[in-house]
Amino acid sequence: MKLRSLLLAATAGVLASGAAASAQSPVLLRLESGGTLSDRFRVDSSGTFVAFGFVRDVGNTTGCAAQLPATGAGTRFMWLPCRGSLRFGRVPIGQTNWDDSNLDDFTFAGGNQVTASGYGAFSFGDQVNVSSTVGVGFGSGVTVSGTAGFSAGASNVCSGFACTAIGYTVRAGGQGSVALGYRTTANNDYSVALGYRASNNTHTGTMVMGDESTTDSVRNQADNEFRIRYNGGIRLRVSTAANGNTPGAGGNVGCDLTVAVPSWTCASSRTLKENYLNVDGEYVLSRIRAMPITTWSMIGADAQVRHLGPVAEDFYRAFGLGIGETTIGMGDIDGVNIAAAKALEARTSRLREEVEMRTAQVNTLQAQVAEQAAQLQAAKLRSDALEARLQALEAKP
């Protein structure tokens, strides 16, 4: 290679002032090689530089090794046009991270002890190893072996096709798997693990999310399962006015599930409702009376697992509540049950009042009968006395 420095016809004022260079900035340094003296490296007066080269022909798997400017251990900046690959940083003693055997076309690796050995791979940081096609790895102690995988953080493993592993000590080992957070694991296809110590537990098609309330992991227990653990509660909101933690406050529509209340608590404030109409409890009872109630099992589920209740079509036909005839709102069926209970309580109250009235009447009649019986007894005694006296008189001579 021949080095030739060119002094150019640029004015001293332009060079001294550092004025912005045009698209045709004068060349200050040029490296040339070959019989035609074609450019290999060029620097212009604006500080712009360019390195030229060529990528090896398709099928040439060995031709680039001879063009490596350095191999083995060392700290260096290295551009290999034959592969269209860039390296900068450090290779430890005894390692060959940047030898041709650990290179591939169009790769990038920068940092300490980093490897990008898959086609189009990108590796940056400390002890980052990306061996997959178009895999990407950032951070420290990161391994990416899944095609098109992506990992950032520390001590992560991303080994499934199109996997994503971001955080600390996370594992994404399935196709399309995602592991985000701290010590999360998604080691099967289409599984997602988020948060703190959450694991898909080898199941597929799952999502698991964990909080920081314990050092024990929350784990999926079945394929295609959604499982979450949040000790502070789960709060679902479906309105834009998500104010505070109390459902119903300021138009805050949603439901809460907390440790203190182990069932869903949903917004039902008067401030959220309008168009009130009174309900005839006897009508509700009549509709319930006419509505079929059966036991059944869900299609596709274990036939031995039985449920009891109305179907949505019959419920909607009876009461017209909710958004359609294929669903039953839990609030609606609760409302029907309360209305029915209230109507039955009204019946019970009326019956109680009637029974109390009848009881009072019976008591009065019983008292009257007892009084009449006493009067009859007294009359009988008087009659018996008169009869005795009469017999005594008749017995005298």
pLDDT tens readout for residues 60-105: 666 788 788 899 999 999 999 888 899 999 999 999 999 988 899 9
Q: Are 101 and 115 in contact (CB under 8 A)?
A: no
Report for 6-10, 162-166, 241-245: range of highest mean pLDDT: 162-166
Flag whether pLDDT at 376 surpasses 70.
yes
Instruction: List CB contacts of 57: < 8 A, sequence separation 6 or more.
Output: 63
DSSP H or E stretch at residue 334? helix 330-395
Share of residues in the chain with pLDDT > 90 (%) = 69
pLDDT given for residue 16 in this prediction = 34
C-alpha closest to that of 214 among 171, 259, 177, 179: 259
pLDDT given for residue 289 in this prediction = 97
Q: Which two tokens stand for residue 73?
A: 């251990």
Lowest-pLDDT choice from 149-158, 207-216, 267-276: 267-276
Torsion sign over Cα 339, 341, 343, 346? negative
**H helix runs in 105-245, sequence order:** none
Q: Which two tokens stand for residue 277?
A: 């109409």
pLDDT given for residue 195 in this prediction = 98
pLDDT given for residue 246 in this prediction = 60
Flag whether pLDDT at 12 surpasses 90.
no
Q: Are 149 and 163 in contact (CB under 8 A)?
A: yes
Q: Which amino acid is at 245?
A: N
* Residue 267 vs residue 200, higher pLDDT: 200
- CA 48, distance to chain mean position in Å, is 48
Mean pLDDT of 319-346: 96
Q: Are 332 and 316 in contact (CB under 8 A)?
A: no
Residue 310's Cβ-side half-sphere holds a number of Cα atoms within 13 Å equal to 25
Residue 22: band (very low, low, confident or very high) from pLDDT cuts 50, 70, 90:
very low
Q: Can you tell me the distance from the alpha carbon of 162 to that of 171, in angstroms, rounded to the nearest whole number?
A: 13
pLDDT given for residue 65 in this prediction = 80
Q: Can you tell me the distance from the alpha carbon of 187 to that of 158, in angstroms, rounded to the nearest whole number?
A: 9
Q: Can you tell me the distance from the alpha carbon of 222 to that of 245, in angstroms, rounded to the nearest whole number?
A: 32
pLDDT given for residue 33 in this prediction = 65
Residue 10: band (very low, low, confident or very high) from pLDDT cuts 50, 70, 90:
very low
Q: Are 255 and 267 in contact (CB under 8 A)?
A: yes
Residue 6: band (very low, low, confident or very high) from pLDDT cuts 50, 70, 90:
very low
Share of residues in the chain with pLDDT > 70 (%) = 87
Report the greatest alpha carbon distance in the chain. 185
Flag whether pLDDT at 227 surpasses 90.
yes
pLDDT given for residue 253 in this prediction = 86
Q: Mean pLDDT across the chain, nearest whole number?
A: 88
Mean pLDDT of 269-291: 94
C-alpha closest to that of 132 among 111, 115, 114: 115
* Residue 245 vs residue 330, higher pLDDT: 330
* Residue 391 vs residue 328, higher pLDDT: 328
* Residue 224 vs residue 260, higher pLDDT: 224
Q: Are 158 and 144 in contact (CB under 8 A)?
A: yes
pLDDT given for residue 8 in this prediction = 33
C-alpha closest to that of 43 among 55, 53, 31, 32: 31
Q: Are 165 and 153 in contact (CB under 8 A)?
A: yes
Q: Can you tell me the distance from the alpha carbon of 197 to that of 212, in angstroms, rounded to the nearest whole number?
A: 8
**How many CB atoms are closer than 10 A to CB 44?**
18
pLDDT given for residue 57 in this prediction = 63
Task: Give per-residue burial for 161-196: e unless 16+ CB within 10 Å, then b.
Answer: ebbbbbbebbbbbbbbbbbbbebbbbbbbbbbbbbb
Q: Which two tokens stand for residue 123?
A: 């590796």
Per-residue pLDDT of 234-278, as tens digits, reads: 999 887 765 555 665 556 788 999 999 889 999 888 888 899 999
* DSSP 8-state assignment for residue 291: S
Both ends of the chain: CA-CA distance in Å? 180
Strand partners, 85: 80
pLDDT given for residue 5 in this prediction = 37
Q: Which amino acid is at 11?
A: T
Q: Can you tell me the distance from the alpha carbon of 243 to that of 61, in angstroms, rounded to the nearest whole number?
A: 63
Q: Can you tell me the distance from the alpha carbon of 287 to that of 369, in angstroms, rounded to the nearest whole number?
A: 46
